Structure 1
Amino acid sequence: MCRTCGKVGCCDSSPMRHARAHVLASGHPIVRSLEPGEDWSWCYVDEAYL
């Protein structure tokens, strides 16, 4: 899920990589996992977990 606007997209391990496409189109660089039990965010600019 985009931490800027809340858009939900599949991650890079999914075939369509909707989260990365959203980052490239919107400029919103940070996403977070919505998977149960996961509490992480990823910054596409720094290519690092937050």
Structure 2
Amino acid sequence: MSRERFVVHLPVLATDLAAAKRFFFCDRLLDGRRRCPLPADHVGECGPSRHR
């Protein structure tokens, strides 16, 4: 049984690039058609979220 999934795109306003990057993710495709959840421009390979 497959579940329905929905993507919601919300506009955001940031005062500078550093603040904007806190809202953006890498977005590269991983195995299983999932997206990389790490921050944009992260160091190292894509993969599961890492705790800071």
For normalisation by structure 2, the TM-score amounts to 0.22
Greater relative contact order (Cα < 8 A, sep 6+): 1
